[in-house]
Amino acid sequence: MKKLMCLLLCLLLTLSAAALADVDVDAYVSDPAEKISIAWLAGHDTDAIAEGDTVVAWLEEKFNVDLDVWFLERENYDELLTTRIIGGEIPDVFMLQNAEQFSKYVKQGVVMPLPIEVIQKCMPESYAWLIDYDPGCFNTVSYSGVNYGLPRVNGDGRFNYAPFWRADWLARFGYTDGKVPMTLEECEDVFYKFANEDPDGNGEKDTYALSNTGMNPIFGAFGALPDRWVEDENGDLVYGAVYPGMKDALTLLAKWYQDGLIDPEFITGENQGGYWALSVPFENGQIGFSSSGAYYHLAPDFDGPEDEETGAGSNFKYGRTMRTFAATVGYENMVIGYNPVGPDGRQGGESWGLTTDEAIVFSYALADKPAKVARILEIINDIGSNFDTWEKIWNWDLESDQYDYDELLGFVAKEGHEKADEGSHTNMFNTLQNPNFAMKAKPAQYNWAMDMPQFQTGGYANTLLPITTASMPNCWTSMETLRLTTYIAIITGEQPVDAFDGFVDSWQAMGGTAVTAEANEWYHSR
C-alpha cells in the first residue's frame, strides 16, 4: 500500500512538473485578500523613502501589499546592486539601466523570463498603449527570443534634436522672418558666409559657422550618425562608423575645416567641460549654427517674464540652453532650424528612441511565485493606465482635488495647499512612464514641441541595438577608440579622407564583422 502511494505521489509530482514547464498563464493571478510583501526597485530614485510616507502607505493599502522600497544611487547603481545580491538580498522587481546590465543579468540567470502572455493577462491596458506607442518596445527586454521584463518608454523620443541658428546673422544673408536654410547646399552656402562675410558686423574675421554638435545634422544628411546603428537598404543593421555615406560627410567636413568654417576648439567639446547641452562658442558669438541640446532645452519662456508691477513670478524660464542664450545672445536672435536635407534626400540628427534602454525585470527567485508577479504587474498596470492613480504618483500627493489644471503648467497646487514634506519618488513608481499622461502633466512643453515640425522630421535613434553582442566586450572599446580618433584626424586634416577606407578595414578586422553579424542575428530574430 505504501509503495502504491509512493508511486502515485511520484506520478502526481511528475505530471505537475510537466504542467509547470509550459507557461501556465492561469497561475498568474493574485488573490486580493492575500497580503504580499514586495521588495521594490522598479524605477530610479534620488532619495530613500521616509518613514510613514503617505503615498507609499496609500499604495500599500490599496493593493494589500507590504512595500520595502530600495534606494540605490544612480551613479554607482550596478556596483551597489551586485553587492547587495551577493550579500544575499535581491529586490523582487528592479530596474536595469542599460543594455550591458540587462545582458549581463539575464545571461547569469539573475532575472526570470516574463512571457508576453502573462503581461497581456495581468496588465492588458498598459500592454495596449505600450504597443500602440511603440510596436517594437519589447525588443529592448528580449534576449535570445525570450522576453525578460517590461520596457520603459520615453515620451521625449518622439522629438528629434533640431539645430538652431543666429537669426540676426541669417538676416544679413537673406533669411528673414523665420526662414532657415533647408538643404545641405543652402547650409553650406550660409556657412561660408558666416565664416567670411563678417556676420556680426564688427569688422573682424573672428567667426566660424559650426562646432562639433553642428556636425551631427551634417552626418545625418548622408544617412547615418557615426555612433548609431542604422538599417541599410537591405534591412540589415550596420554601424554608422563604417556606413559608406560617412565618407562623403567627412569629405565635406574636412573641406570646411580647411576653409575655416569649423571652430578648431570643437575638439574639446562644444560645452567646454560644462553642462552637456550648452554651446560655449554659440554663446560667445563665435559660431552661428549648433545642435546642442534636445528639444526641451530650447523651449521658450511660455508665460513671459515676471510681472514688474504685481511681482507675480514667471513659472517658466526657458529651457536651460535657451535660458543662457536668452541672457547672452538675446532670444530674438535665435531661430530653431531643420536638420538639413542631403543629396539623397536624407536628413536627421540625434534622437532618442521611443523606448529607452532601461528595463524592468523580475528576480529569479520569483519564478515559482506567480501570485507575487501578478500582484506586482497589477500595481504597475494601475499606475501606468489609471490616470487618477498616476496623478497621485506624479504629484506625490494624495489630495488630487487640491490641484487645478492649467493649460500651460499642468497640475498646479491650489493656493494655500501645503504638500507633505516627504520628497517625491515619482520615477520609482512611474514604472512604465506613460507618455500620454506625461504630456498632460507638462502641456506647455509638449504642445509647443508638437507644433514644431523641426522636431518631427525624424532622427537617428540610439536604440536599434539594445543589447551587447557576444564579441563586443573583447573589442568594442578599441573599435570605438579607433572611430573617434580617425574621425577627428580626418576632419582636422591630419589624415586624408581616403584613410577612411583603411579605417573601415581595420574596424572590420578588429571585430566589426563579428559584431555586425551577431547584431543582425538578433535583429532578424526579434
Nearer to other proteins, 157 or 220 (CB): 157
Nearer residue to other proteins within complex by CB, 298 or 374:
298
- Closest distance to other proteins from the beta carbon of 124 (Å): 25
Q: What is the 3-state secondary structure (H, E, C) of 408-462?
A: CCEEEECCCCCCCCCCCCHHHHCCCCCHHHHHHHCHHHHHHHHCCHHHHCCCEEC
Find where cell 504629484 sits: 395
**What is the closest distance, in whole angstroms, from the C-beta atom of residue 96 to other proteins in the complex?**
11
Inter-CA distances, 83 with 43, 72, 89, 149, 237, Å:
18, 11, 9, 22, 36
- The Cα 463–Cα 397 span in angstroms is 34
What's 329's DSSP letter?
I
Contact 326, 298 (CB under 8 A): no
User: Which C-beta is closer to other proteins: that of 275 or that of 387?
Assistant: 275
Rank residues 158 and 346 by Cβ distance to other proteins and give the closer one: 158
Judging by beta carbons within 10 Å of its beta carbon (0-12, 13-18, 19+), is residue 34 exposed, middle or buried? exposed
Nearer to other proteins, 104 or 121 (CB): 104
AA identity, residue 110: V
Phi/psi of residue 140, each to 5°? -70, -15
In whole angstroms, how close is the CB of 77 to other proteins at the nearest point? 10
Q: Which is nearer to other proteins, 394 or 455 (CB)?
A: 394
Least distance (Å) between residue 256 CB and other proteins: 17
**Residue for cell digits 539623397?**
344
Instruction: Give 234's contacts (C-beta < 8 A, 6+ positions apart).
Output: none
Output 31 or 47, the one with its CB closest to other proteins: 47
- List C-alpha distances in Å: 369 to 29, 42, 131, 364, 431: 10, 18, 27, 10, 21
Q: How far is the CB of 433 from other proteins (least distance, A)?
A: 7
Name the minimum Å distance from CB 8 to other proteins: 35
Q: Residue 80 or residue 497: which is nearer to other proteins going by CB?
A: 80
Measured CA distances, 343 to 161, 308, 446 (Å):
20, 51, 32
Residue 186 CB, nearest distance to other proteins (Å)?
27
Torsion, Cα of 30, 35, 39, 40 (10° steps): 70
Residue 318 — φ and ψ, nearest 5°?
65, 165
Residue 5: HSE in the Cβ half-sphere, 13 Å Cα cutoff: 2
Nearest to 340 by CA among 439, 195, 476, 209: 209
Q: Minimal distance in Å, beta carbon 69 to other proteins? A: 11
Q: How far is the CB of 24 from other proteins (least distance, A)?
A: 25
CA 498, distance to chain mean position in Å, is: 35
Q: How far is 224 from 245, CA to CA, in rounded Å?
A: 7
Q: How far is the CB of 19 from other proteins (least distance, A)?
A: 26
Cα gap 341→346, rounded to integer Å? 6
What number of H helices and E strands is found in the chain? 20, 16
Distance CA 242, CA 515 (A): 13
Minimum separation from the CB atom of position 495 to other proteins (A) = 12
User: Which grid cell sits at 437?
Assistant: 499622461
Query: Which of 105, 455 has the CB closer to other proteins?
Result: 105
> Which residues are within 8 A (CB) of 112 and not within 5 positions of it... i.e. 6 or more apart?
148, 361, 362, 363, 364, 366, 367
Smaller CB distance to other proteins: residue 209 or 374? 209
Helix (H) or strand (E) holding 355: strand 355-362
Residue number, 175 or 296, with CB nearest to other proteins? 296
CB of 497 to other proteins, least distance (A): 17
Decide whether 44 or 375 has the Cβ nearer to other proteins. 44
Q: How far is the CB of 58 from other proteins (least distance, A)?
A: 18
Q: In the complex with other proteins, which residue's Cβ is closer, 30 or 279?
A: 279
